[in-house]
Structure 1
């Protein structure tokens, strides 16, 4: 840290921190909660607005702090995310939730990579980032994947924007599908619809917004299913890192070196520690608030480094890929849930 200007660092952290606090406050308003817009999504939007207007004028005075938020604070935010999960939650939903989540994650990501790189001719990084966001947990998964890829900010922002667009659609679509399902069949039981909801909607906040319209029991099942999916982020990152090391990606193919994402492994350890319930609820609340602030600061920093022109240059193909994945999550996810129920019954 000796080569970093301390004043520059402090000013950058103050800027990203201010955006984060504003985003959290805005995210707690009734309107934003109704639309399922989390603090993270709002932070990147505010960051992009400032990054494409006034930020370039004083970027040289606070660039070190913004970069620190984008890299170091992001990793700590992912680690603290582990305090949102316990192994007991996994046990509550059981084998059904684990099986559905694992199948949805694997098939969605494989589809994203194959369709993205081969059919749509997108670059590897964009395909992987959109795949991770759709398959696991939206913006948090995109952010967690970025350090392994060392992807450009514009590609990360494109991936996050797909989460915002298609995740927002799910908030209004899924409750309607639930009531339609109850009326005509049901094709899926209420409990299985909760598992399906958690296994296929992008963001945690979007799962909350959609599932609370279906009843408390289904919302609880959906959230546990979602958290199991979030927990799969750590093994996904390790496997992705190992696969990239063996591929022809120039960032990772040097002498077959494998980059183990240490923050992903600590994330699992934190979730395990959290499962022991050694900390009081008040301390957990403080840690979760800190986590939200750190992740929102990372999103703000990402937005500040994102230029709209770069997103425009990406064109329609990323949105087309995300749209195809959205349809797969909807129909393929329902099929996987039904298949899992048949296998386990």
Structure 2
């Protein structure tokens, strides 16, 4: 049996001496990611800016620290493991009763719009000369929950400089589109003189990030805000099948055994996501623990995206050109067209 290299295993699986070695190897990078994440959250709360975008920008600004050998292990660990902890705890946001309460027709409409958006991402990426991975990453981000979904999808894609650059681009552009949607979509649904339920379906079914959905819905009324949030939870609940679909579609679900046979496996953090969602839906998780878990999920994701920013060279991000931007705009408009069109047709 070969011994693990420093920082390659989770600290929870090590004896005290090995855990101390892991800490000595990783703590400088983890500390930088954590401090950057805390700063981004403070800036977000003070100015109202999207925390994921601020985290990415802070990470990009301190990319020079990644040139230090003692920093890299902790940054790499944060970008990979802390990200997966955050995605797993997202399951605590899911409550089956809330999802069922919106009704079958809106539920099917939103799921259908997500499927169309994912297909648009795949076909659009091919038409624009972008990679399949970028199509899956952008499609998953737009159809599910913005930056958090982008991070989740990225975690099951091949980990290289290209994937890190793609993730940085998707987070930046999707956050921009979510902010634009948060401002203009409430004006659109109000001008159409729709019912509060229809407004909630459209806002929750089309705006990218959860925070922007809450803000856009409550800008109209508390009732619309609540309905929009419930619809948004449908999309968050679909994170598991979408990430698993990407996982198997792009061939990452196959592991070569010594016997030469390939077997499928499911990442542990996706299993944890499902377990947390099931427990929360069964109402066996205390509300205080659910609140703690969802808060921890948010901070884990902010820290992980800070680390991803640190790993990413801003120059390489700026070199991607206009095609990724166009693809994400198209996906956003397709999502809006399907949900809005479906709501209007139902009347």
**TM-score scaled by length of structure 1:** 0.87
The range that moved more, 327-336 or 279-288, is 279-288
Stretches of structure 1 lacking an aligned partner (at least 5 in a row): 183-187
User: Equivalent residue for 2:54?
Assistant: 42
Residues 188-207 of structure 1: pairs in structure 2 closer than 5 A: 188-207=194-213
Number of the residue aligned with 1:25: 42
* Structure 2: distance between partners of 1:259 and 1:26: 40
Confirm whether residue 126 of structure 1 aligns to residue 137 of structure 2: no
Shift of 1:83: 1.2
**Matching residue within 135, 142, 146 for 1:138:** 146
Alpha-carbon offset, residue 283 of structure 1:
2.5
Verify the 8 A CA contact 2:248 2:254 in the aligned structure 1: no
Mapping for residues 7-18 of structure 1, pairs under 5 Å: 7-18=24-35
Q: Structure 2: any 5+ residue segments left out of the alignment?
A: 8-21
Structure 2 Cα separation of the partners of residues 204 and 19 of structure 1: 22
Instruction: Give the whole-Å Cα distance in 2 for the aligned partners of 1:139 and 1:257.
Output: 31
> Are residue 224 (structure 1) and residue 230 (structure 2) matched?
yes
Which aligned pairs between 1:282-297 and structure 2 lie closer than 5 A?
Answer: 282-297=288-303
What's the CA shift for 1:205? 1.3
**Distance 1:76-1:219 versus aligned 2 partners, 3 A rule:** same
Counterpart of 1:162 (choices 170, 173, 176) is 173
TM-superposed deviation, 1:289: 2.1
Residue in 1 aligned with 2:13?
none
SS of 1:28 mapped into structure 2? helix
**Which structure's residues are more often helix, by fraction?**
1
What is residue 176 of structure 1 aligned with on the other side?
187
Q: Could you say what secondary structure the match of 1:137 adopts?
A: coil
Residue 185 (structure 1) aligns with: none
1:253-332 paired onto structure 2 within 5 Å: 257-332=263-338
- 1:25 and 1:105 mapped to 2: Cα distance? 32
CA-CA distance at 1:253 after TM superposition: 8.8
User: What is the Cα-based RMSD across aligned positions, in Å?
Assistant: 2.0
- 2:70 aligned partner: 61
CA deviation after TM superposition for structure 1 residue 252, in Å: 5.5
| Structure 1: distance between partners of 2:31 and 2:155 | 23
Aligned position for 1:86: 95
Distance (whole Å) between structure 2 residues aligned to residue 317 and residue 91 of structure 1: 38
3-state SS of paired residue (1:121): coil
**Which residue does 1:3 correspond to in 2?**
6
CA positional deviation for 1:259:
4.4
Residue 257 of structure 1, CA deviation: 4.7
Aligned length, in residue pairs: 323
CA contact (8 A) 1:244 1:253 kept: no
In 2, distance between residues paired with 1:13 and 1:332? 42
After TM superposition, give the deviation of residue 74 of structure 1 in Å.
0.9
Check conservation: 1:8, 1:63, Cα contact below 8 A.
no
Would the aligned equivalents of 2:136 and 2:246 in 1 still touch at CA under 8 Å?
A: no
Q: In structure 1, what is the equivalent of residue 339 of structure 2?
A: 333
